[in-house]
Amino acid sequence: MIDIKNLRKTFRSGRETFHALNGITIHVPEGEFFTLLGPSGCGKSTTLRCLAGLETPDSGTIEIGGETVFSSERGISVPAYRRDIGMVFQSYAIWPHMTVFENIAYPLKIQKVARREIRARVEKALDTVGLEGLGDRPAPALSGGQQQRVSLARALVKEPKVLLLDEPLSNLDAKLREQMRFEIKELQERLGITTLYVTHDQTEALAVSDSIAVMNQGNLLDVAGPRDIYFQPRSEFTADFIGLTNVLRGKVAGSENGLSCLDTPMGRLLCRPTSVAHHGGGEVVIFLRPEDVAVTAARPAGKPNVFEGEIEALVFLGEVVDCQIKVGEELVRARLHPKSAFQRRQKVFIEADPAALITIRAH
Ligand SMILES: Nc1ncnc2c1ncn2[C@@H]1O[C@H](COP(=O)(O)OP(=O)(O)OP(=O)(O)O)[C@@H](O)[C@H]1O
Ligand SMILES: [Mg+2]
């Protein structure tokens, strides 16, 4: 449904040139919820704005629903108002001098849709986002979450092929954000609308997406479903950006009982034989998620990957205790049950299941 090929965009200010997008290629199948995830300034909004026709790329092509809306080679650039998309902006930009109804009706008025049809479609959009009966309110007389729904309804009222959402939840408080996450996902599934979603919040991306594309500095690093991107990250940036992870560097030192041996500063680790790990003598980067580190007071018997350490810090977070354990020169993060009785400076043992270690080739 959305096909972006080799999209480049530079911004010039004075003599400086800034490369915002370095050749981005994205394919979003029909009906999919696809998320661009990355830190501030990585080019997420620029990508959406190019799709919407609000920025002109330097080169590349953009197709929406089989129609080429931008092609530098063929000299095509369809204006924004003729692209079949609905967009919710990063600052959700509803008009304060209009009622809720007028805000949502606005895109249809521009298209000169008949009055009666406008009424029916706005009512339907209000229903869709759960704001039925609030059409006559002045838009500012709504809570943040309700205003957010107004901008969503305004994006949906044209019944576009594609929905673009640019950090739509960033202005909401934490509780409401979590609730809206479920609602947006449910709405998207109910309407079956192809959605390109932008966020810098990894939990949000994991919660709502069918596919996640991790971006950094104008490049697309990794594209996969939430579970794959979490369990099988293909770059150190992705592993670290999506969830917390312990990162170790090691060298492949042969194999033992069908497992690969890795020499690390912490000691020898055994991991599942992956193609990378079998790369004899090769340098690897090893990721170990804090939730995969088991911490015990007594040495676990008969298990591989057991190391002695000392608890350096414990932070109580309610649902978990975030723990740092010094093992040799390494600091290992672990997550403990909130009722665990470990103390700072306590000697402990850590253990990691070989199947929990993720390895990639070091670059
Ligand atoms: N009009 C502009 N002129 C110059 N530089 C720009 C312009 N718009 C964006 N940039 C730069 O391009 C880069 C990408 O910006 P973009 O808005 O796409 O980032 P983002 O990933 O959406 O970040 P955020 O999470 O902060 O919204 C940034 O470094 C930004 O400063
Ligand atoms: Mg942005």
For 152-199, what is each residue's pLDDT tens digit? 899 999 889 999 999 988 877 788 788 888 888 998 999 999 999 999
Distance CA 221, CA 135 (A): 43
Strands lying side by side in the sheet with 162-166: 85-88, 162-166, 194-199, 33-37, 211-216, 219-224
- Chain centroid offset of residue 208 CA: 9
How far apart are the C-alpha atoms of 192 and 32, rounded to whole Å?
A: 8
Take residue 14 and report the two structure tokens written for it.
Answer: 């004075």
Ligand 1 atom closest to Cα of residue 46: 18
Per-residue pLDDT, 282 = 82
Residue 279, pLDDT > 70, answer no
- pLDDT higher than threshold 60 for residue 245: yes
Tokens for 258?
Answer: 């069908």
**Model pLDDT for residues 315-348, shown as the tens digit of each residue:** 999 999 999 999 999 999 999 999 999 999 999 9
Of 56-70, 132-146, 172-186, least confident by mean pLDDT is: 172-186
Can you tell me which atom of ligand 1 is nearest the CA of 215? 21
* 3-state SS, residue 311: strand
Q: Are 8 and 23 in contact (CB under 8 A)?
A: yes
Nearest CA to ligand 1 atom 28: 41
Residue 43's contacts (CB-CB under 8 Å, 6 or more residues apart) are 9, 20, 21, 24, 215, 217, 218
* Distance (Å) from CA 47 to ligand 1 centroid: 10
Ligand 1 neighbourhood includes 11 CB (under 6 angstroms) = yes
- Tokens 């197709």 -> residue: 63
Contact 308, 358 (CB under 8 A): no
**pLDDT of 92 over the 90 cut:** no
Please count the other Cβ atoms lying within 10 Å of the Cβ belonging to residue 282.
Answer: 15
Average model confidence (pLDDT) for the chain? 91
What is the best residue among 42, 48, 89, 216 to mutate for testing ligand 1's pocket, by most ligand atoms within 8 Å of CB? 42
Ligand nearest the Cα atom of residue 47 = 1
Output the residue whose Cα is nearest ligand 1's atom 20. 41
* Reported confidence tier of residue 275, pLDDT bands at 50, 70, 90: low
16, burial (CB in 10 Å: exposed 0-12, middle 13-18, buried 19+): exposed
CA of 200 to the centre of ligand 2 (A): 9
Q: Which of 291, 250, 255 is nearest to 272 (CA)?
A: 255
State the pLDDT at residue 340: 92
Average pLDDT value for residue range 234-252: 89
What percent of the chain clears pLDDT 70, i.e. is strictly above it?
Answer: 98
Q: What distance in Å separates the CA atoms of residue 132 and residue 238, rounded to the nearest whole number?
A: 41
Structure tokens at 5: 């090929």
CATH number of 2-241: 3.40.50.300
Residue 141: CA count within 13 A, CB half-sphere: 10
Quote the CA–CA distance of 32 and 48 in Å, as a whole number: 16
Residue-wise pLDDT for 11-56, tens only, equals: 998 889 999 999 999 999 999 999 999 999 999 999 999 999 999 9
Asked if domains 2-241 and 246-361 share a fold, the reply is: no
How would you classify the pairing of strands 283-288 and 293-296? unpaired
Q: Which CATH class is domain 246-361?
A: mainly beta
Phi and psi (nearest 5°) for 290?
A: -55, -35
Can you tell me the mean pLDDT for 59-75?
Answer: 96
Collapsed DSSP state (helix, strand, coil) of residue 131: coil
DSSP string, 6-61: EEEEEEEETTEEEEEEEEEEEEE-TT-EEEEE--TTSSHHHHHHHHHTSS--SEEE
Q: Whose CA is nearest to atom 3 of ligand 1?
A: 11
Mutational test site, ligand 1, from 24, 46, 91, max ligand atoms within 8 Å of CB: 46
164-199: burial string, b at 16+ Cβ within 10 Å, e else: bbbbbbbebeeeebeebbebbbebbeeeebbbbbbb
Residue-level pLDDT at 286: 92
Q: What is the DSSP letter of 298?
A: S
* pLDDT confidence of residue 254: 84
Question: In the prediction, which pLDDT does 274 show?
Answer: 67
Q: Which of 3, 47, 55 is nearest to 214 (CA)?
A: 47
Question: Which residue, by CA, sits nearest to atom 27 of ligand 1?
Answer: 40
Ligand 1 atom at minimal distance to the Cα of residue 39 = 25
pLDDT score for 322: 95
Asked whether residue 277 carries a pLDDT value surpassing 60, the answer given is no
Domain map (residue ranges) of the chain? 2-241, 246-361
90 pLDDT higher than 80:
no
Pairing of strands 211-216, 306-316: unpaired
Q: How many CB atoms lie within 10 A of CB 288?
A: 25
